[in-house]
Structure 1
Amino acid sequence: MKIDFRSRVQASPEFADWLEKMLEPAAEDRFKSAVEALKALQTPRSLPNLSKQLPQNQSLLTGRRPNGSRITLQKTNKRLFVKIPPMGLQTKGIHQFALFGSIAFGFTSIVFYALIRSVQSLLFVLTVAPLFFCLLPFWLIGLSMLCILVYGFFGSSYLEIDASSFHLRWKCLCFSGKVQGQTADIEKVERWSKCPPVIWEKDHKHTFADEVTPVEQDWLVAEISDFLERLSSSKS
């Protein structure tokens, strides 16, 4: 019966804790008087950090998971884990564009291969060579679209953050990659309009979750930011 306001407002951890105590369902768990509430508001240190009172293995809920999301998110006081499974064609328009680009890439490759096979003279070779260089940029674009399409069906990514370090990994078929660093070096996590989320680590930035919907991206940014704030508050 508790009101979940943390996912709807942007507030400091201290003020959020104060407001949460104000909204406790049981009257005996709230402040005893307006004077006590005002004193706690003016001196946040007098109010225990509610996030520290949670058991270490208890999940912390920040916001509601977007409807239909297949992302796995597990969060405790000390660890956050995110898994983004293969999304196929159901998430972003770029995957539909990648499908079109891959088809165009395959078609032009077949046509060019047929031309090469039918070469009968040096003059024809000289005619086909400029065509090759003209088509090269389109092939490179088509190849990148094909990679996006393959990743959409077979690629998955993972983000794990604990008190000491963070790991950002991706895997697609037999290929994989990993970025890691110190949690203390993470300055912020943010997302701009039409851009994927970014983890700022001092002079480096790491993008992630670019294959999911904007609603899911905003949700992940809120969850990760909340976890980092709670982690920082628990150390101070």
Structure 2
Amino acid sequence: MFDHIHTTNDVVAGRYRIVSSLGQGSSGTTYEAEDVQTYQRVALKVMSFRGMQGWKQLELFEREAQVLSHLEHPGIPQYLDYFQVDSDRDRLFYLVQALAPGRSLAALVERGWQSTEAETKRIASEVLNILIYLHGLTPPIIHRDIKPHNIIRGQDGCIYLVDFGSVQAVLSHATAHGSTIVGTYGYMAPEQFRSQAYGATDLHGLGATLIFLLTGCHPGDLPQKRLKLMFRDNLQIEIKPHFASWLEQMTEPIAEERFITAQRALAALKSVHLEKKSHDTSSAVEPSDKPPGSRIQLKRTQTKFALNIPPIGLQTETFFIGATISVLLWNVLVLLKANSAPPGGGMNSSILILCAVLLSVLGLRFSAVAIFELTGRTRVEMNEQQFRIKWQTLWSGRQVLGKVSNLSKAVLQASYTRGWRQVDACVLPATPLPHKFGEMLTNPEKKWIVQELNAFLEEHH
């Protein structure tokens, strides 16, 4: 931790006069200061090199300055300056932002302020709009430390999100990994203890903050069941059941069971009818009618899709084509043996050898088809974030993995021609290559699969 470095009326860098201390944290001390050139009130955050407990603190401080310099949102105090001051004994790093007028939610509650349901929803909406902006950047910005101390409410009701000392830019667009655990106990999502962060991580922090406003209890002091906050019995005011359910979904311990995005959370908050609760998503969604006689197995819930295509059995067409190739290859080999001795038979032998090679290749091809028909299984699995397509035969298998956000609408598309007949496949368009499966199914089965895939994808795009 850092000791108070400045006192009232100290002037920093000949420009910023200290007015008062606003707070102290792991990344430094923040002061209210006045710019003596513009008379603007600013938030001046300072970190001492001597007071650091490791290089990671400096890395986070510099990252905060870098990120803030590129942000522009009315709910985020404007970045003004970043500089350092050297002395004989120390080096001080400074970050300057416009001062967010008002008090933190934590300070308001400490002073006896009680939020109403309507005001809590309004605060939630304001913060979600800030998160929509942050998570929509390239790369997305994850705050990682949303809590009552970092949300400022002005006297006019305006809401500001401050303290980006734990911020993470998610270069993979999916999850952030690091070697340092950041966040605040009680408001941290479980995945943060594994040094991971997602967009849904910020939703957990916001949900826990709103629960604090409604209960007056630190989330870490509330009863829990399997890491789930059991807050309903501790509410200080009566709230509508659908809002309580919304808060439960925001703070689900498993990230995949929270709202997928801040947009989805905001839409559910504004909706009269709450999105189906994540802990109810284990109940199956009724699929459309499966084609009669089909052995395909499908289980679809609000958050998961699992399609299992069992072996279809050796098809009559495959059997007769394979048998024909075998008979032809046998006859060619007999002729090849008979014509190998006579003089002048070199040309005939060459032609027969070529025929034998071609028939052998075709035979291998249809043998592979027959093996897949007899033993091949295809499984398509999806959740709200990822998908997997797995092909498995008796001796081998392969799979592809990817993000659901990269998939487009499923379609039926020509895969190959068999004789004079076009064979379609179920295709999931993706970058760089589309994913095809189900060529051996009947056309009604393929159309049904495409319909069910699109029903699931439409809910999560």
So what's the TM-score if we normalise by structure 2?
0.37
Output the amino acid matched with 1:78. T
Matched, 1:79 2:304: yes
Matched, 1:107 2:327: yes
- Pick the aligned partner of 1:180 from 379, 401, 408: 401
Structure that is richer in strand per residue:
2
Partner of 1:11: none
* Offset of residue 135 of structure 1: 4.9
**Is the partner of 1:146 in helix, strand or coil?**
helix
Q: CA–CA distance in 2 between the matches of 1:166 and 1:122?
A: 63
Matched, 1:67 2:287: no
Q: CA–CA distance in 2 between the matches of 1:184 and 1:147?
A: 33
Q: CA–CA distance in 1 between the matches of 2:435 and 2:356?
A: 33
Change in Cα spacing, 1:51 to 1:125, as seen in structure 2 (3 Å) is farther
In the TM superposition, what are the counterparts of 1:1-236 in structure 2 within 5 Å? 46-48=271-273, 51-52=276-277, 55-89=280-314, 95-118=315-338, 119-121=340-342, 123-192=344-413, 195-232=424-461
* Offset of residue 176 of structure 1: 1.0
**Is the partner of 1:110 in helix, strand or coil?**
helix
Q: CA–CA distance in 2 between the matches of 1:83 and 1:212?
A: 12
* Offset of residue 52 of structure 1: 4.7
Output the amino acid matched with 1:199. L
Structure that is richer in helix per residue:
1
Q: CA–CA distance in 1 between the matches of 2:362 and 2:352?
A: 16
Change in Cα spacing, 1:46 to 1:162, as seen in structure 2 (3 Å) is closer
- Structure 1 gap segments, 5+ residues each: 1-42, 90-94
RMSD: 2.6
- Structure 2 gap segments, 5+ residues each: 1-266, 415-422
CA contact (8 A) 2:299 2:306 kept: yes
* Offset of residue 106 of structure 1: 1.1
CA contact (8 A) 1:99 1:146 kept: no
CA contact (8 A) 1:62 1:222 kept: no
Q: Percent identity?
A: 21
* Offset of residue 116 of structure 1: 4.1
Q: CA–CA distance in 2 between the matches of 1:165 and 1:200?
A: 15
Q: CA–CA distance in 2 between the matches of 1:145 and 1:176?
A: 18
Q: CA–CA distance in 1 between the matches of 2:288 and 2:272?
A: 24
